[in-house]
Amino acid sequence: MKIFIETERLILREIIPADEAGFFELDSNPNVHTYLGNNPVKTIEQVREAIQYIRQQYIDHGIGRWAIIDKVTNDFIGWTGLKLVKETRNNHTDYYDLGYRLIERYWDKGIATETAKATLTYAFEVLNLTEVYGICDVANKGSKNVLEKTGLKFIETFDLDGVEHNWFKITKEEWLNT
């Protein structure tokens, strides 16, 4: 298991099959899925498939979402990190998306912002990317705040599967000047 980043409070590492219980707690909660299509998982098998999908991204693209682990308790908090998006979304293909998803009891503790900032450091210093994008449902004020606090700039709104979403971007140059 590879650890990518450590922050003061957290370890960001590969998602592994042993994370399935925490991942199920995360993705079976309807509140977590309010702005994600309202389609929480129902079975542990769905979680196993999601974990395998992410692990395949590590192999295929060298990057994927990472588990967020509490350094003190070793608890699974959720996931964060980059995903190489291969399908076309808002007229963009093959772009890096910054994302995060937390178990509800960890909301409003600064964890998403902390991990997003650490992810951008990794994106620009380790991967040497030139830009990173982020999207969120226009009604998702929490996610919008995280993206803005992390330095991403609002570009436009666009339709994603019939739902208006905000499109954000940060370049390496902008990140270096923050």
Cβ pair 61, 84 in contact under 8 A: yes
pLDDT in tens, 129-157: 999 999 999 999 999 999 999 999 999 99
Which residues make Cβ contacts (< 8 Å) with residue 124, sequence separation at least 6?
Answer: 132, 172, 175, 176
Q: How confident is the model at residue 1 (pLDDT cuts 50, 70, 90)?
A: low
Averaged pLDDT for residues 5-18: 96
Q: Where do the domains of the chain lie?
A: 3-176
> Of 30, 128, 10, 144, which is closest to residue 78 (Cα–Cα)?
10
Long-range contacts of 54-57 (CB under 8 A, 24+ apart): 54/15, 54/79, 55/14, 55/15, 55/16, 57/83, 57/84
Q: Tell me: pLDDT of 13 over 80.
A: yes
> Residues 98, 132: contact at Cβ < 8 Å?
yes
> Looking at the domain 3-176, which fold is it?
Aminopeptidase (3.40.630)
Residue 67 has pLDDT above 90, yes or no: yes
pLDDT at 39: 87
